[in-house]
Chains A and B, each alone.
Chain A
């Protein structure tokens, strides 16, 4: 079996790639801007745009393909905006991956509920303009 020393160049190459990945990730983290609005889409259809500044609590029905709001909190996703960030408080889907995600507040961050095809995206004030009256 070859000595590890013989693999010096391979290790340098790998190290270089890992450092590159780290730098790119760090640059992304630093470049994130605070968001202003939250866009809610289901099945690609726009449901709502909310400001991050007002605290609120909204329920979205789980009916696949039917983009609609409901009052029944057991039946869908409960979206909560508080302290300038958005999170999913509860969901009627089995995996609850969206509930486990941390609160989001930076532009481009998303919370996705795959079973209900619900996508929540934090957007900037400029992006929100076209949706607002």
Chain B
């Protein structure tokens, strides 16, 4: 791996970490746990489009691991890992669909993240009732996903190509 790619990935990972922290400062607790802005996804979508799925996956994985070490525990690691991995796989697949923009891709990622976390919660807590949270989470995922996707589109357009040419 080229040093420049490594350094860029590390930098974006640090950025995603900061965004995770910023996000935790403004909890959007609308009576449903798990509703959040998804700011780190901004970095992931950018990396996916400009640096490819491999880079996005490395950034996401390292971010999840560090967030769990700093702010979380072993359970939150499972939640984040499932959410991050499944949402990235789906976004990487949808990215190749013609006519789909970052807005749609980011919405799909956000929604997949929520579905994965509900799934893990059902397994860990052993109750099906948590699935009641899914509809409001899907709706909040659409709203935040569109916002993140539109901002990501601007970043992908505006940030100099030089930064991500390896």
> What residues on A are CB-neighbors of B139 within 8 Å?
18, 21
Say how far B117's CB is from chain A's closest CB, in angstroms.
Answer: 15
A48 at the interface (CB under 8 A from B): no
> What residues on B are CB-neighbors of A21 within 8 Å?
134-136, 138-139
Residues of B116-131 contacting chain A, CB below 8 A? 129, 131
Are A13 and B129 in contact, with the CB atoms below 8 A?
Answer: no
| Total chain A interface residues with beta-carbon distance under 8 A | 17
Closest to A108 in B: B129
Are B103 and A17 in contact, with the CB atoms below 8 A?
Answer: no
Q: Given known contacts A28-B132, A108-B129, is B107 in contact with A10 (CB within 8 Å)?
A: yes
Complex-state Cα separation, A6 to B104, whole angstroms: 12
> What residues on B are CB-neighbors of A2 within 8 Å?
101
| Total chain B interface residues with beta-carbon distance under 8 A | 20
Q: Given known contacts A14-B146, A108-B129, is B138 in contact with A9 (CB within 8 Å)?
A: no
> What residues on B are CB-neighbors of A65 within 8 Å?
none
> What residues on B are CB-neighbors of A17 within 8 Å?
107-108, 111, 138, 141-142
> What residues on A are CB-neighbors of B160 within 8 Å?
none
Are B135 and A25 in contact, with the CB atoms below 8 A?
Answer: yes
**A→B interface (CB under 8 Å):** 2, 6-10, 13-14, 17-18, 20-22, 24-25, 28, 108
What would 14 more interface pairs be, CB under 8 Å, given A14-B142, A24-B134, A24-B135?
A2-B101, A6-B99, A7-B103, A7-B104, A9-B99, A10-B104, A13-B107, A14-B146, A17-B108, A17-B142, A21-B135, A24-B138, A28-B132, A108-B129
- Could you list 7 examples of A-B contacts with CB < 8 Å? A7-B101, A7-B103, A9-B97, A9-B101, A10-B104, A28-B131, A28-B132
Q: Ordered nearest first, which 6 A-B pairs have the shortest CB separation?
A: A10-B104, A21-B138, A25-B135, A9-B99, A21-B135, A13-B104
